[in-house]
Amino acid sequence: MHHVVLSGVGHYLPTRVVTNRDLEAVLDTTDDWIASHTGIRERRFVTDDVHMSDMATVAARQALLHAEVEPADVDLVICASSTPDYLMPATAAMVAHRVGAVRAAAFDMEAACSGYAYALVVASQFIRSGMYRRVLVIGGDLLSRFLNWKDRATAILFGDGCGAAVLEQGTEPGIVAARLGADGSGAEHIVIPLGSRVPPVGDPSRHEVRMKGREVYRWAVGLVPRLVQETCADAGWSVADVDHLVLHQANLRILEAVAERLSVPMDKLVLNIDRMANTSAGTIAVALAEAAGQGRFAAGDKLLLAGFGSGLTWAGVGLRWTITRPLPQHDARWSEPAQP
């Protein structure tokens, strides 16, 4: 079995910033209430001409440049998203074409807020087995187009964003632990009702995000500490050994409760929920790339990633940071007009 390392990361963030003050104009809420209950102060929304494949293409290009990998050398592209451009074809195939990964297989996967961590685990299995040497993993969502602006409980929580990573065969261990789980008994707790059960016809409001917030909070606060502990045990670490916890950015109050139960100081958590809100499959991917760009990680650091969300699904990944190159700055030429 081959070692798997993370060799490059990237991200895309929309330029349009929507603050809590902006939401006061359309929702019966206040900046103080949103910030005190969620930790969110602003979020990013795409413009009308930007789609999931556009975000993914920019994030993928930065990750490939960071990894110093030629697109033609990528063997597989996986895109984790609940908001693809289309039900078919796969967004991953479109992105592979646009970045020049002409030899790559491509498929989409959907595990909602756990999607990016799920995709990292799936990608690592292809590499461990020797089937592929390099896999491009993308995680992101564009939830601004699925929000109900009459439901203040959900409309305040979400934003748009996307991240990407390159995984490769390595000479030393990178990903050292992986744990996946699901409990479909809670599937109705977080839903975008669009599919064969609820076809895309009639009133568009039928397809907006619906969430049972209290149930999700209780579930997450109970589950995530166990997920972190079990993934650490799989890696041969104690929780105290972990240098950085990169958790799904669902709600700051969930993250604070998790840190308290684990007896972990908050400065070990990589946080951006105050600026990005919940970007679903994008949260961990974007947080990783932002922190890498800030020089927060050093070679050899132990990172614990944990995704959790709709499904209900969860995923834990333990990895050693092996990248020493600085993250390349975004280049305006990476952005492309929307594709048909």
Task: Compute the distance between CA of residue 55 and CA of residue 212 in angstroms, rounded to an integer.
Answer: 28
The answer to whether the bond into 142 is cis (omega within 30° of 0) is no
In the residue annotation, 162 being an active-site residue is answered as: no
Q: CB–CB of 317/178 below 8 Å? A: yes
CB 121 within 8 A of CB 111: no
> Which DSSP symbol is given to 252?
H
Residue 281, strand partner residues: none
CB 144 within 8 A of CB 276: no
Active site residue 232: no
Distance CA 110, CA 311 (A): 10
Per annotation, catalytic residue among 20, 66, 79, 113: 113
Report whether 114 contacts 305 (CB < 8 A).
no
Closest residue by Cα to residue 292 from 337, 325, 331, 336:
325
Catalytic residue among 66, 79, 248, 251: 248
Longest dimension (CA), the chain: 56
Residues with active-site annotation = 113, 248, 278
